[in-house]
A and B are shown apart, each in its own frame.
Chain A
Amino acid sequence: MRAFVAMLGIGLTLSAVSGAQAYHRFWANCNYDAATFMTTMTRDAAQDYANAARYEGYQWGGGCWNYDDVDSYPNDPPEQTGTHGEGGDCSGLTFKTWRESTDGSRDGRYYWRALRNVHGPYTAADFRAGYGAPNHTVAKSTAGVMDAFASSTHIGMVFVRSLYGGDQIVEAKCEACGTNIFYRTYRSDSAYGGVGRWGWTG
Chain B
Amino acid sequence: MRRPRFRSLAGGAAGIAAGVIGGVVLTSASTAGPTPVAAAPALIDATHVPPVLTARGEPIRLRFGLVCAPREDGLPCDGSGTVFVRAGQTGPFQQYPLRRGDESKDGRYFFDVPAAVAGSPDGFSYYAVLRDDATGAAVSIPSGGADAPQVSRPLLDPVTVELGNYSFGDPRPPNGRAAQASWGSGPEEVGLAGSRELGFSGPSSFDVEPDGAVDLLDSVNGRIERWNHAYHEDIPLGRTADLADVAAEPDGSFDVLDAHDTLRRYGADGSERWVQKLADRTWAKLDRGAEVLQEPSEQWMPAAENGAPLTRAEQRRAAHTAHHAVLVDRVSDGELRLAQLRGNAPVRSWRITSATPLGEVQLAEPVGNDVVVVTRAYTDDRDEFVVLVLGDHGVAERFSVASDSWTETAPLARFRLAHGGLYRLRTTPAGAFVDRFELEVPQ
CB distance from B180 to the nearest CB of A (A): 23
- Residues on A with C-beta less than 8 A from B403 are 189-190
The answer, yes or no, to whether B361 is at the interface (CB within 8 Å) is yes
Partner of A176, one of B48, B74, B108, B242: B242
- Residues on B with C-beta less than 8 A from A145 are 47, 65, 104-106
Cβ–Cβ contact A15 & B103, under 8 A = no
Q: How far is the CA of A140 from the CA of B358 in the complex (A)?
A: 11
Cβ–Cβ contact B108 & A44, under 8 A = yes
Partner of B360, one of A10, A18, A38, A164: A164
- Residues on B with C-beta less than 8 A from A8 are 15-16, 18-19, 22
- Residues on B with C-beta less than 8 A from A190 are 378-383, 403
User: Digit string of B21-65 for contact with A (CB within 8 Å is 1, else 0)?
Assistant: 111101100011111111111010101111010000000000001
The answer, yes or no, to whether B206 is at the interface (CB within 8 Å) is no
Cβ–Cβ contact B27 & A15, under 8 A = yes
Q: How far is the CA of A119 from the CA of B67 in the complex (A)?
A: 24
Q: How many residues of B contact A (CB 8 A)?
A: 95
Cβ–Cβ contact A67 & B35, under 8 A = yes
Partner of B47, one of A4, A159, A185: A159
Q: Which of B230-238, B278-286, B339-347 forms contacts with chain A?
A: B278-286
The answer, yes or no, to whether B250 is at the interface (CB within 8 Å) is no
Q: How far is the CA of A8 from the CA of B75 in the complex (A)?
A: 54
Partner of A4, one of B15, B43, B102: B15
Cβ–Cβ contact B298 & A115, under 8 A = no
Cβ–Cβ contact A4 & B199, under 8 A = no
Partner of A160, one of B24, B283, B296: B296
User: Digit string of A1-36 for contact with B (CB within 8 Å is 1, else 0)?
Assistant: 111111111111111101100001110110000001
29 A-B pairs (CB sep. < 8 Å): A3-B8, A3-B12, A7-B16, A8-B16, A10-B16, A11-B23, A12-B19, A16-B27, A19-B23, A24-B31, A38-B74, A42-B104, A44-B104, A47-B67, A67-B69, A68-B39, A72-B34, A140-B378, A145-B104, A160-B47, A162-B284, A162-B295, A163-B50, A163-B330, A165-B359, A166-B360, A176-B259, A185-B360, A187-B360
